[in-house]
Amino acid sequence: MMWISDSRDEYTKERLEAINDEFKLYRCHTILNCARACPKGLNPGKQIAHIKSLQPKA
């Protein structure tokens, strides 16, 4: 997520394209078990949902 959100990064489009398939980005179903289990209190499901919202609509 860090590289996708960094305005200084010039490869955001390429990074979004690289993860836009059913076996990468869309393997997450946003159930958020990862956030409940994370010992550091991170919320990867929320970030993945944000990345999904950045994808162009088909």
1-58: pLDDT as tens digits: 566 777 787 888 888 888 888 888 888 888 889 889 989 998 988 888 988 998 877 6
- Residue 53: burial class (beta carbons within 10 Å; 0-12, 13-18, 19+): exposed
User: Cα-Cα-Cα-Cα dihedral of 26, 20, 49, 30, to 10°?
Assistant: 10
Query: pTM for this structure?
Result: 0.67
Q: Quick one: pLDDT at residue 58? A: 62
